[in-house]
Amino acid sequence: MEVFIGRQPIFNTLEQVYSYELLYRNGNGKNEFPDIDSDLATVDVIINSFFSIGFEELANGRPCFINFTENLLMSDIFDQLNPSQVVVEILEDVPITEKLIRRVKELKEKGYRIALDDFIMQDDVKYYRELFKYTDIIKVDFYISTKEKRHQIEERVKKEFPHIALLAEKVETREQYQEAIQIGYKLFQGYFFMQPQIIRGNEIPANLLQYYRVIALLRMEDPDIDQIAEGIEHDIALSYKLMQLINSSSKRSKSKIRSIKQAILHLGLEDLKKWIYILTYRESQKYNSAGTFDELMKTCLCRAKMCELLAKYNRKRNTSEYFLVGMFSLIDALLQRPMNNILMKLPLSDEVIETISGSSSIMQPYLQLTIALERMDIKMVNEIAEDLEINIDDVLEISKAANKWSNTIC
């Protein structure tokens, strides 16, 4: 399933890229904001950035501006983001109230940078002084704003708030760019530099029912980690997003993840719950059809279970890693991206990565046996089973068990 994000660079006075603004796009071929609920648009940008395309690939190590509505500003979504990666861009229609000031102060204390979008001074607002204390960047629209309106902002900032960087947006000519530099603007954005690029990625279709099952487990008075891990293991989309989340967030793991349970313990149940609520909100707001992905995901789950059962048969340690090998063995086909690019962004152990990549490892024969049986290559099945000292009848029984398990899920 293809997903899209608009990305427009923001430049400094040397015409070097300072940052990017990430924008909602839906793949309709038009480089414009579609008619969609603003809350959902922002959630979609965040999920596609962190899970489907990858924040590092989008940002190239730079912070990204993301638009936030009043509802999302007051939500706990910021607990799951990395302040070094996100500039909080407050939309122009957000009312400037005492409540907003308190929230902006909280976000600053968390380490977020604050930008005001399409900013215009209004006579009836009495909280500018407090708001500007916590503001890092003010975006001034050079296309719509009059020179008088711009001058009102520029003079206020220069005299009272020199820490604020002025950003000239919708700059469409070199004359506007030179004018903005002379006035003292530090950042620039607009078609004079570059139109938003549309970045494409692929996403594994979500099983919304499985999301609700996991939420139900998380909401229990005494949540069972093993049951939650099993619930996530049943869904490739959730498993992949969990790994991506750990790798992209402020909780990035220094150690390699060897099981879904370990990933849950590393992230924490509260953070896991918040992210699954965000994912569920997004998925429940749009129609989703897995289409041709259904069989591919079923194959991944069957491989995962069979690798795990074969490892248990031979009394291997860390059988959960064998499960991960099978589960992610077709992730390149699901996401339609090179396997190496995907594996670089997942916090999997070296042994798992080597096995999935096709390198020789202790786990490799188990995956090879699973694939050989899947392809009905009986000669190869017999050879590998003999090397692993697994009776061929037991291999067939394990295969039946794995198929039965995956059929109950898909």
Domain of residue 186: give its range. Answer: 2-201
The whole-angstrom separation of Cα 204 and Cα 215 is 19
Write down the mean pLDDT value for the chain. 83
3-state secondary structure of 376: coil
Structure confidence at residue 368 as a pLDDT band (50, 70, 90):
very high
What are the strands, taking DSSP E only, across 142-214?
A: 165-169, 187-189, 197-202
CATH of residue 120's domain is: 3.20.20.450
pLDDT (tens digit per residue) in 183-217: 999 999 987 766 666 666 666 666 665 776 787 68
Q: Label the pairing between strands 2-11 and 197-202.
A: antiparallel
Q: Give the pLDDT of residue 380.
A: 94
| Same domain (yes/no): 230, 187 | no
3-state secondary structure of 341: helix
* Enclosing H/E stretch for 24: strand 17-24
Q: Give the pLDDT of residue 28.
A: 53
| Same domain (yes/no): 176, 211 | no
What mean pLDDT is predicted for residues 309-321?
Answer: 91
What are the strands, taking DSSP E only, across 50-164?
A: 64-68, 86-90, 113-116, 137-141
Q: Give the pLDDT of residue 184.
A: 93
* Three-state secondary structure readout of 233-301: HCCHHHHHHHHHHHHHCCCCCCCCECCHHHHHHHHCHHHHHHHHHHHHHHHHCCCCCCCCHHHHHHHHH
Sequence length of the chain is: 410
pTM, rounded to two decimals: 0.59
- Which of 141, 174, 201 finishes a domain? 201
More confident residue, 30 or 398: 398
| Same domain (yes/no): 216, 122 | no
| Same domain (yes/no): 83, 164 | yes
Structure confidence at residue 287 as a pLDDT band (50, 70, 90):
very low
Q: Give the pLDDT of residue 52.
A: 63
| Same domain (yes/no): 273, 302 | no
Q: Give the pLDDT of residue 31.
A: 45
| Same domain (yes/no): 220, 348 | no
The number of distinct structural domains making up the chain is 3
| Radius of gyration, alpha carbons of the chain | 25
Residue 23, pLDDT > 80, answer yes
The whole-angstrom separation of Cα 115 and Cα 92 is 10
The whole-angstrom separation of Cα 142 and Cα 134 is 24
Residue 259, pLDDT > 50, answer yes
More confident residue, 208 or 230: 230
| Same domain (yes/no): 25, 160 | yes
Range picked from 28-42, 96-110, 214-228, 280-294 for highest mean pLDDT: 96-110
| Same domain (yes/no): 58, 147 | yes
Q: Return the closest-CA partner of residue 9 out of 41, 19, 369.
A: 19
30-34, 158-162, 387-391: segment of lowest average pLDDT:
30-34
